[in-house]
Amino acid sequence: MSTTNAPEGWLDDFASEGRGANASTGILLVHGFTGSPASMRPWAHFMNELGYTVRVPRLPGHGRNWEDLNAVSWEEWPARVVQDLQALRTTCSKVFVFGLSMGGGTTLNVAENNLVDGIVLVNPMIHIPGIQIKFAPVLAMLKKGMPSVGNDIKKPDVTEWGYDELPTRGVLQLNKLLKSTKANLAKVTAPTLLFHSVEDHVLPISNSDIIMSGISSSNKQRIEMTNSYHVATLDYDADLIFANALAHVKEWS
């Protein structure tokens, strides 16, 4: 996995206006930690080809050099999503936010504090379990980076075009985002569709369990995926995600 030789423009912000009856519905897609907009581009193109207005922001610290993530504060990630949310609101009467992994946690954070018409979460992250995170502050002082946990994809020869290194100070900020978001999950009331991979080598099932039990949405659905790993938006179950997300958008728009 690397950001080297990624398709031109796929590591950058992406936006495309919709057309026809669906143009007034906006779709905002949020990538994961150490990942890039590339992991959400096929999904964005799928929705845009159906006429929806789409935006895929490059979250601060991503898509360039892994060390950039060591200089970012967690508040910058939801702030960037809100920026695109507000931009979509200028032309769209309905806006949905789709999030992958940490992008799912960021989506929840945004939904806690802003009006969204629905959310779709793919293997979303809401906590970092285990004892290792307790030693993260010390580790961050000793090392800038560690081996990456990204690119967990079952389909061969597919990459999410993310970082090869896991920035240790960035992990501290990630943990702060998740703690803040987890503490306020009850504020999420938007219709929610959550996808969870049965075999995920990055996040334990506890993340999805906490989210489904913690949000206040009266309309929430969970779909298990049996043929994808963590980055399911680029894996064998991508079509399953796209089709059900489309139905979710149609139902609530």
Structure tokens at 178: 């998740």
Other Cβ atoms less than 10 A from the Cβ of 39: the count is: 29
Summarize the confidence of residues 204-219 as an average pLDDT: 97
pLDDT digits (tens, 9 = 90+) for 20-43: 999 999 999 999 999 999 999 999
- How far apart are alpha carbons 54 and 45 in whole angstroms? 8
In sequence order, what are the beta bridge partners of 195? 122, 223
pLDDT of residue 239: 98
CATH superfamily name and code, 14-252:
Alpha/Beta hydrolase fold, catalytic domain (3.40.50.1820)
Q: What is the mean pLDDT of the chain?
A: 94
CA distances from residue 217 to 5, 191, 211, 221, 249 in whole angstroms, order as listed: 41, 6, 10, 10, 15
Q: Evaluate whether 29 touches 98 at the Cβ level (below 8 Å).
A: yes
Q: For every residue of 107-155, which 3-state class applies, written as one string?
A: HHHHHHHCCCCEEEEECCCCCCCCCHHHHHHHHHHHCCEEECCCCCCCC
pLDDT digits (tens, 9 = 90+) for 139-149: 666 777 777 77
Which of the four pLDDT bands, split at 50, 70 and 90, describes residue 165? confident
Q: Residue 198: is its pLDDT beyond 60?
A: yes
How is the chain split into domains, by residue range? 14-252
Q: Residue 155: is its pLDDT beyond 90?
A: yes
Cβ within 8 Å of residue 141, ≥6 positions away: none
Characterise 193 by phi-psi region: left (phi > 0), alpha (psi -120 to 50), beta (else). Answer: beta
Which amino acids are annotated catalytic?
Answer: 101, 200, 230
Other Cβ atoms less than 10 A from the Cβ of 135: the count is: 10
pLDDT of residue 128: 87
The closest alpha carbon to 57, from 120, 106, 129, belongs to 106
Backbone angles phi, psi at 30, to 5 degrees: -120, 120
Global confidence as pTM: 0.94
In sequence order, what are the beta bridge partners of 64? none
Other Cβ atoms less than 10 A from the Cβ of 148: the count is: 18
Q: Evaluate whether 88 touches 25 at the Cβ level (below 8 Å).
A: no
The closest alpha carbon to 113, from 78, 83, 80, belongs to 78
- How far apart are alpha carbons 215 and 188 in whole angstroms? 5
In sequence order, what are the beta bridge partners of 119? 97, 192
pLDDT digits (tens, 9 = 90+) for 67-120: 999 999 999 999 999 999 999 999 999 999 999 999 999 999 999 999 999 999
Q: Residue 197: is its pLDDT beyond 90?
A: yes
